Amino acid sequence: MSLIEEIRDTLVVGNAPKVAELAEKSLGEGGAALEILNEGLVKGMDIVAEKWKNGEYYIPNVLIAARAMKQGMAIIKPKLVEGDYKAKAVAVAGTIKGDLHDIGKNLVVMMMEGAGFEVIDLGTDVTAEKFLQTAKEKNADLILMSALLTTTMMSMKDVVNALKSSDLAGKVKTMIGGAPITQKFADEIGADGYAPDGSSAVECAENLL
Ligand code: B1M
């Protein structure tokens, strides 16, 4: 088994220190950071997403694997920045205004990062102004919104409307999700995409681009 395959499989079982160690070893042996990313870390997260989809993995497995992904990324990031690595797209993520639930949003952020997106995570209780201002500053392609409360989900509409009447209209796509959110609701408020979970969020974002 190659070192890159070992990184991939170690990520799948969520052994973060080992992933970091193997990534360092690979770089030390002249391995390319981009190959470690695409063939090791991202491939590993693809396997994790698949296992989650078919019920073999549960949320803790995904969170543990995502942590391993983060540690691997921390090792290779300086090398990636030196090279001409470009993230697939830039997304601004957050839980909507008034809502403090962030477990699902964090999972979506991790899956997106695992799939090669750059995600600026604004945390929870994020206003429409903050979403738009950050999207503008970071030249983002996507705004990702999460809501867990029926009382806060309507605020997603404020972001969609504010975006539509701003100079970012047509440039930035919106994707929404969270336990009370449905495709029907996304259509009603005019969001560009909806995903029921983390792995379909990645697919949805890729389709929107
Ligand atoms: Co709250 N809470 N909570 N809570 N909480 C719910 C949501 C609730 C359904 C519980 C219940 O009554 N059965 C209920 C909402 C009822 C409603 O609106 N109809 C509720 C309530 C009422 C409240 C408070 C108002 C309680 C109170 O204070 N009286 C309060 C509100 C605080 C606030 O936000 N202002 C509150 C507080 C809390 C805690 C702080 C204690 C804690 C949050 C901790 C945290 O997030 N850091 C909490 C929790 C943990 C829950 C439950 C138990 C679990 C939520 C969760 O993390 N699920 C929840 C009950 C439940 O859902 N069973 C509940 C796991 C997570 C992985 O799933 O977030 O759905 P989820 O994310 C999924 C998908 O939805 C999707 O992908 C994720 C992965 O599959 N997804 C996206 C999420 N975001 C996405 C974005 C996307 C795409 C997909 O694209 C951008």
| pLDDT, averaged across the chain | 93
State the pLDDT at residue 126. 98
Q: Which protein residue's CA is at the shortest distance from atom 78 of ligand 1?
A: 104
> Which atom of ligand 1 is closest in space to residue 99's alpha carbon?
34
**Contact 193 CB / ligand 1 (< 6 Å):** no
Q: Mind listing the pLDDT tens digit for each residue in 97-106?
A: 999 998 889 8
Whether 157 has a pLDDT exceeding 90, the answer reads yes
| Predicted confidence (pLDDT) per residue in 16-43, tens digit | 999 999 999 999 999 998 889 889 988 9
Q: Is 101 part of the annotated catalytic residue set?
A: yes
| Count of other CB atoms within 10 angstroms of residue 138 | 13
For every residue of 77-112, DSSP letters joined together read HHHHHHTT---S-EEEEEEBTT----HHHHHHHHHH
Predicted TM-score of the model (pTM): 0.85
Distance (Å, whole) CA 99 – CA 56: 30
Cβ neighbours of residue 121 closer than 8 Å, sequence gap 6 or more: 93, 94, 105, 106, 109
* Predicted local distance difference test score (pLDDT) of residue 103: 80
155 assigned to active site: yes
Q: What is the pLDDT of residue 45?
A: 87
pLDDT at 104: 85
Closest CA to 154 of 125, 189, 128: 189
Q: How far is the CA of 23 from the centre of ligand 1 (A)?
A: 35
Give per-residue pLDDT as tens, 39-57.
998 899 889 989 988 999 9
pLDDT score of 81: 67
Contact at 8 Å (CB) between 146 and 104? Answer: yes
